Structure 1
Amino acid sequence: MSPHLSSKWPRLPKVVSRRAMRGFLMLLTVLLTLFIFTGCSLLPWNKDSANHPKISHKLNEQEDVINRNSLGTEKLDKLDAFIERGSGVQRVVQHTIEGDPIFRVLEYKGGRLQYTVDTTEDAFGTPEVRTVSCAELERVETNTLLTYTLTGCDGEQAERQLLSIEYDVVKQDRFEFVLKYGVDRKNEINTGEQKLVKDLRNGSVAEVNDYTLPDKDRQSIYRELVLSSDLEEKQLSTECNRKPYISYELTVQINGAERHYVWSECDTSTDGLSMTGVAQFIIDTVEANEAYKQLPEAEGGYE
């Protein structure tokens, strides 16, 4: 080394050099320890693609549980059956506000649940596939909320929410419905116009023109509509080979949206049976009220 360089960069004493090296090695050891014992625990998701199940991005309308936010959840009974069965595979497709699908796959393996989330179709999120192992899937229902939560999961986040469905009618700016039913749809429940019409089956009807649906009944009917996914588009039929036959017409208004359905009792499709079940739930709920009980009995019949 030249005298010029030597005078500008003086050599450190050996004692100082050894102390600096020991300090550097100790710091490096601490950092590595922190990464191993804390950093890894903050990454509970398994991002090794070899351990992820193959996920199709094609919707299966018959088998997938499909949540469309305010438009309801389809095939929720599939998820309940999966929990009850405790085996097999179930997929849940959650649509974002923008309409992009997020695929969630649940599979029982070795007494635990393998939970995989695929966000590669979410244009506004981070595209990735992640997997974690959990102990079980819990279903908790209140008067206004239904949640499905994975518990006993690996990593620091022991609980992970799979699905949350809110049906609190108080939080809606508007919820009204008109249900017409029976032979020639002469019976009517109209919450918007506060009207009840009962077919007496003798050529006349009885009416209540100041009918108010009790709050608890309004809540239970709204819940039934949401959980039965009967706010979606339906494939329904009005055809019937019986005479006389019962038909239905249901109009639902929620905030600024409106749904309208017409079908007959002969529609035994999945959508038809679902809609008939909801219509009967509404009818039973209203007919249990004192306002309806005060209407005259139907005495006539149909040929």
Structure 2
Amino acid sequence: MKLTSVSKTLCKLRITVVLFRRLARAALPALLLLVLVTGCSLFERGGSSAISHKIDQEEDVISSNGGGISNLDKLDSFMERGSGSQRIVQYTIEGDPIFIETRYKGGRLELSYDTTEDAFGPREVKTYSCDELVRTEEKHQLKYSLKGCEGEAVNQDLLTVDFDLGRQDKFEFILKYGFNHRNEINTVKQSLVKDMLNGTAIEISDFSLPQADRQSIYRKLVLANYLGEKQLSTSCNLKPHESYDLTVLINSAERHYAWSECDTGRDGKTMTEAADYIIGLVEAGDNYLQLPAATGGVK
């Protein structure tokens, strides 16, 4: 009897299934061996990673190429604790993130480098074990270096923060502070204004900062990540209250920040610390010490 088209199709399908089962039995040992050798790479297409690629702006140490570094204190705290883990996100010059997971394990430091999102990199995940992470500050650099690592590199720099003022074409700033911004440090106009707290102010028109002080201030601002986005507030329920207004001119760029003493947020505290550092440095200088003491009071 002649088979119908449906019968022919079912017959071909049955033959295909039988052949597939026979091939699968023959290929299974080789397939398992390949999986063991490649470390399950067959199931991790594109080099998938156990490291999360979701960036935490509050907890991750984020290093932008030429754009500063945020949450550096998190790395310092991690080193002081000597336990737990800390993630670092480093952006390449093309803007691709490299994820570095650091953790203390068995008395050593274990690091996982994830370059799977680096378009110009190897796109892989590698793990290293090192003896320690060392923080050293040189004249114009802060370095976090790995020591006693196993594998390809015995010693290498994990993170470098550069604050060499000599590499900048221009660095000036205008800082207004105090009650109603009556005090001012202005390196653009080379002027210094002191509030006498009696409705008057005294101004020095030939004010200048020593190069060492300028370098020190630049370092402080870099470590405060002054180029990063800041969440600042000028509101304050205190009367009167101190407020800050800072403009930084760096090369061809300009950054402006305004906040009050009531801003107790993370960025507010960081910027207040940086501003108070500048104020303390200037007020300890000969130019400021020659000015008379304020004669009025705060109202």
In structure 2, the residue matched to 1:228 is 224
Q: CA–CA distance in 1 between the matches of 2:231 and 2:290?
A: 37
Segments of structure 2 that go 5 or more residues without pairing to the other structure are 1-37, 42-47
Name structure 1 gaps, 5 residues minimum.
1-46
Contact 2:49/2:125 (8 A) holds in 1: no
Paired with 1:152 and 1:120, the residues of 2 have a C-alpha distance of 26
Structure 1 equivalent of residue 276 of structure 2: 280
Query: 2 CA distance for matches of 1:206 and 1:119?
Result: 57
Q: TM-score if structure 2 supplies the norm length? A: 0.82
Partner Cα distance (2:172, 2:40) in 1: 48
Give the letter for the 2:242 counterpart. Answer: I
Q: 1:269 aligns with which of 256, 265, 270?
A: 265
Aligned counterpart, 2:189? 193
State the partner residue of 1:215.
211
SS in 1 for 2:66: helix
Which of 160, 169, 174 matches 1:173?
A: 169
Q: 1:156 to 1:232 in 2, by over 3 A?
A: closer
- What value does the CA root-mean-square deviation take over the aligned residues? 1.6
SS in structure 2 at match of 1:298:
coil
Pair 1:154-2:150 in alignment: yes
Is 1:72 matched with 2:68? yes
- Report the Cα offset of residue 49 of structure 1: 7.3
* One-letter amino acid of the structure 1 residue matched with residue 213 of structure 2: D
CA distance 1:133–1:53, shift in 2 (3 Å): farther
TM-score (norm 1): 0.81
Distance in 1 between residues matched to 2:229 and 2:204, nearest whole Å: 31
How far off its partner does 1:156 sit? 4.8
Give, in angstroms, the shift of residue 151 of structure 1: 0.9
Is the counterpart of residue 296 in structure 1 residue 288 in structure 2?
A: no
* 1: CA distance, partners of 2:40 / 2:135: 29
Superposed displacement of residue 139, structure 1: 0.7
Distance change >3 Å, CA 53–CA 115, structure 1 → 2: farther
Closer/same/farther in 2, CA of residues 48 and 160 from structure 1, 3 Å limit:
farther
Q: 1:89 to 1:292 in 2, by over 3 A?
A: same
Q: How many aligned positions are there?
A: 256
Q: What one-letter code is carried by the residue in structure 2 that aligns with 1:81?
A: S
Cα distance in 1 between the residues matched to 2:130 and 2:49: 16
- Report the CA distance between 1:133 and its aligned residue: 1.0
Amino acid paired to 2:67: L
Alignment match of 2:50 (pick from 48, 51, 54):
54
**8 Å contact from structure 2 (residues 49, 114) kept in 1:** no
AA at the equivalent of 1:68: S
Cα distance, 1:120 vs structure 2: 1.1
Match of 1:136 among 110, 113, 132: 132
Letter in 2 for 1:122: D
Deviation of the 1:48 alpha carbon: 5.2
TM superposition shift of 1:53: 7.2
SS at match of 1:243: coil
- Of all paired residues, the percent bearing the same amino acid is 57
1:258 matched to which residue of 2? 254
Q: Which has the higher contact order (CA 8 A, sep 6+)?
A: 1
CA change 1:148–1:48 in 2 (3 A) is farther
Aligned residues of 1:49 and 1:129 also touching (Cα < 8 A) = no
Runs ≥4 residues deviating over 3 A: 47-50
Specify the alignment match of 1:9 in structure 2: none
Note if 1:183 corresponds to 2:171: no
Q: 1:87 aligns with which of 83, 86, 90?
A: 83
